[in-house]
Structure 1
């Protein structure tokens, strides 16, 4: 080993899972130096981004009632894209667990109003400082990773009722998570700017901006169907839907980040197709239709029961969850689906993609 250059050693080590690298760091001072060197960390991240993992969450209850205190079983398990098991974990918790993906290494969990940062690679969980309570009882948040600063941003939107019974104000707070940093009680930063609309779904972070779909019925015009929050200017804005005529009852729309761009996935009830739009110019707010997917070619597709969710993009394929026992992979070049291995997924299994990381927090 002494005769092997450190560059080659780093290349060898970079092919190992994070949990094994943690053990290797304890072998010797030499190995610790190699495995904590910025060159190795960058090499490992580059390789991990090409071999992303899947995190699954099964719960013993099929509802999200935050007032329900019954004990339940939460089961986490991770695999690679070929279905090879990485680990399983289970535990008893009170109430429903929400899982907010970041598109990177950490995942945010929410249980009974408490946020947790979860590193699946190292099976470490850190409880985050208590967020402001929301008078409406619902959670609206976003969680994402900024590679240029090696930080995670957690955005929490919460309601405050006014003296008038039917009026409310939506406020926003942001937490920044740094590698090895300490999360303290004053980690939340309260924004002075009020949130202009009620949103649905988790926020998607692209180029230091979070994006949400505005709740149906809460937007005054068709040009205000998507809301953004600029983390640098701490200001809100609206983005129009790319194809207004498809915004009709029976269609399903959600946002996702694909290859560093904001995408809107628009599934028609009839005809059964899914359009994927890309926000080509965030400044001029110009959209372009990137893919049109014929869902009738998806094995097991039922136009009344199947709900399509695009999880991400990897190696020329869109990773699709159609609420079956397996995931599907859609080749954007050949326009052909292929079935993944049988994972025995339930219809309500929560799924997200993550990249292995050494990122840890100190409580």
Structure 2
């Protein structure tokens, strides 16, 4: 009996020794998949699956953090755009996403929003930017002492669950606003911050910029020779931040253009009607150009929709587009429900959010086919009776280095 037990013990020891190879040797020999093939396969998955693959081994973890993989994944994500939803609840900001319908019709299936992340904050939430290459910028106000508050910009990546509060600006000005931009040439994210000169004025004072993902987490002053008021809205299109403003000296109406790559400003003087469309309406990305859509919903009842598009920024040429819909189409589909403008997709479909309806619904207005389709949305029950921020053409960005 003793001899048999000894034999078994030796056999077990032998098996153990055969499998007790160094960890790095097991990692390098176990996955018999070339690195390039691993990158190609995983780049076709969803962001949550990429996070799981990074935990397979140290080799996979380092491979799936390579700049080449991040860029390939982002490129393929652009071909499968998503809808990004966010809302505030009990001191937290919650993010969800769903596949974005492509050319929906009356037979389209409902879409389902999946949970991404939540962000806690100790203040009053102000606004959320549009999704720019997978990142969004949140602005909230917190009290720093009795009667004194400060605005805090936070950049978030819903795909990775990361959030990054930006450092405080070195300024004595009383008001700070921050805008997120992206340079598609150097592939860099930058945050432009502007300050108000004093409490009772809206004139811009200092302009500072911060570049994400470079390891130098600090603000730099940039020069702006255009004296203008603080912008109230903006949009980033192909590396340029656009926002309406008035010249503080001449009182001219204009669109200010900030080139994210060169960090330079220029202005486009516009007539008052164009300025009002930008100020009172919505700034949209229309086929890679700045578009202005003034929405008061009167067009639904007379069957027309008008868009202004900046065709040539240098020559300051605008075009006007009018689209006619069949009479009573809007009333037949929506009735008296309250709706909110969301944006325009890459396929030029105007999208609206239907307020206070369960399940949640989106309206897709195809301006080419002159159709209006209602698409049901499930998974956002927690956002009932709350303001839901909706971003079109959101892409998943799995680059972990951006917010470190």
TM-score with structure 2 setting the length: 0.70
- Report the 3-state secondary structure (helix = DSSP H, G, I; strand = E; otherwise coil) of the residue aligned with 1:46: helix
Cα distance in 1 for residues equivalent to 2:234 and 2:222: 17
> What residue is the counterpart of 1:350 in the other structure?
389
Deviations 1:273-329 (A, max 9, x none): 4323322212111122346365963432659x544231x414553433354532222
> What residue is the counterpart of 1:240 in the other structure?
270
> What residue is the counterpart of 2:342 in the other structure?
309
Cα distance in 2 for residues equivalent to 1:89 and 1:247: 36
- Report the 3-state secondary structure (helix = DSSP H, G, I; strand = E; otherwise coil) of the residue aligned with 1:101: coil
Cα distance in 2 for residues equivalent to 1:108 and 1:252: 22
Deviations 1:54-107 (A, max 9, x none): 3323225xxxxxxxxxx7343333333233414353646322242122432111
> What residue is the counterpart of 1:68 in the other structure?
none
Instruction: Output aligned runs, 1:174-323, within 5 Å.
Output: 174-178=209-213, 181-184=214-217, 187-214=218-245, 220-221=251-252, 224-231=253-260, 232=262, 234-240=264-270, 244=273, 247=276, 252-268=280-296, 270-272=298-300, 273-290=304-321, 292=323, 294=325, 297-298=329-330, 299-300=333-334, 302=336, 306-310=339-343, 312-315=344-347, 317-321=349-353, 323=355
Gaps of 5+ in 1: 61-70
> What residue is the counterpart of 2:123 in the other structure?
94
Gaps of 5+ in 2: 1-29, 101-110, 142-150
CA positional deviation for 1:39: 4.9
TM-score with structure 1 setting the length: 0.77
> What residue is the counterpart of 1:129 in the other structure?
167
Instruction: Output aligned runs, 1:35-74, within 5 Å.
Output: 35-37=64-66, 39-60=68-89, 72-74=91-93
Question: Which has the larger helix fraction?
Answer: 2
Distance verdict in 2 for CA 1:172–1:33, change over 3 Å = closer
Distance verdict in 2 for CA 1:357–1:159, change over 3 Å = same
> What residue is the counterpart of 1:16 in the other structure?
45
Distance verdict in 2 for CA 1:50–1:293, change over 3 Å = farther
Deviations 1:197-239 (A, max 9, x none): 2244332122332111227999834xx2422223426223134
Distance verdict in 2 for CA 1:207–1:73, change over 3 Å = closer
> What residue is the counterpart of 2:16 in the other structure?
none
CA contact (8 A) 2:229 2:248 kept: no
> What residue is the counterpart of 1:326 in the other structure?
361
For the aligned residues, what is the CA RMSD? 3.7
- Report the 3-state secondary structure (helix = DSSP H, G, I; strand = E; otherwise coil) of the residue aligned with 1:96: strand
Cα distance in 2 for residues equivalent to 1:302 and 1:41: 45
Paired residues, number:
339
